[in-house]
Amino acid sequence: MKDDIVNKVRLTQFSHGGGCGCKIAPSVLSEILSGLPQAGLFPDLLVGLESSDDAAVYRLNDTQAIIATTDFFMPIVDDAYDFGRIAATNALSDIYAMGGQPILALAVVGMPIDKLPLETIRQIMAGGAAVCQLAGIPIAGGHSIDSPEPIYGLVALGIVHPDKVKRNDRAHAGDVLILGKPLGVGVLSAALKKGQLSDEGYQQMVDVTTQLNITGTTLANMAGVHALTDVTGFALLGHLLEICRGSQLQAQIEFSRIPLIDTALQLAKHGYATGAATRNWGSYGDGVNLGAEITEWQRKLLCDPQTSGGLLVSCAPESVDEVLAAFKADGFHRAAVIGSMQTGDARVTVS
């Protein structure tokens, strides 16, 4: 009976947007954050607001730094357990994107108590707990409120050696760019909302968004890995543009080398896209230069907001084989070289 109740609830009908597609557009967020106090008075704050990085990092001593982040959003799928798993995987990704190892999490829960069965809420939290168990950490507490839309995520804490923090603004000219997961989650979510996503496409979506980016912890020990981030709501172009601006370099990528989720590729060619892809494109300004051969559906995939997307690595050419081997060892079989970093204006060029 409980399963029947949970299965009848369509979580996405309670939210105006889902997953990382709900993020405030980069340009708007930048305007909101402008003028806030900077971290200059806190010398042990190794990473703060200044570089739009994935998490804050604070040095505790010569061998330990704490990584702190939070991430939460509204349902991207209707299945309660899958929603919890996706949200938790996405939140923990920020720890891995700094080269860290998660140590514990706190749950962030906002639910319309008068509209959702308690068993549905329980399943959401069970999904999140399952992912944390897989990552080897406890959910040690949290906070909950009664809210008009379902919201779930985590505050995540991790640990890293201060000298091994992987920032998003340390790329070198000549570096090779490697993407760990295929793109297309936003396209799949758009099809799901319209009832046009196949069972195969749904499974591909869940498989990608619940794969923990554990390779980030391994990459922290590679001196040849110069910059690291994960691709989420601002899409591949947006997060790569952050690397470019922070590093004062130009990125050159080839669309044909970018791994894409199979079903998303077909749907994108038939016009499926999210509204967030349009908002993202409008936020990049003159920071992106698309080749004349890039089609409209390809542009939208480049702007496609990823929920729990892959790690984006900028590494020395001699480290490419080692980085790819680390991804493959952790089950990221679609990890691929997609371009390089060059001297030039801080922009992304796509051919």
Residues forming a β-bridge with 252: 340, 349
Q: Which of 320, 348, 316, 339 is nearest to 175 (CA)?
A: 316
Residue 299: Cβ within 10 Å count: 18
Residue 126 CB-density burial (10 A; 0-12 exposed, 13-18 middle, 19+ buried)? middle
| Residue located via tokens 């991430």 | 71
Residue 231 · residue 216 · CB < 8 Å: no
Q: Is 24 helix (H, G, I), strand (E, B) or coil?
A: coil
Q: How far apart are CA 91 and CA 157, in angstroms?
A: 10
- Length of the chain in residues, anyone? 351
Residue 187 · residue 193 · CB < 8 Å: no
Which residue in the list 20, 132, 244, 303 is annotated as catalytic?
20
| Sequence-separated (6 or more) residues with CB below 8 Å from residue 267 | 184, 187, 188, 190, 191, 196, 197, 201
Element (H, E) at 142: strand 139-146
| Residue located via tokens 């050419």 | 317
Reply yes or no on whether 20 is catalytic.
Answer: yes
In this structure, which amino acid lies at residue 93? S
| Residue located via tokens 């984006």 | 312
- How far from 202 is each of 40, 111, 196, 259, CA to CA, in Å? 46, 24, 10, 18
The distance from CA 86 to its chain's CA centroid, rounded to whole angstroms, is: 11
Rg of the chain over Cα atoms, rounded to whole angstroms, equals 19
Residues with a catalytic annotation lie at: 20
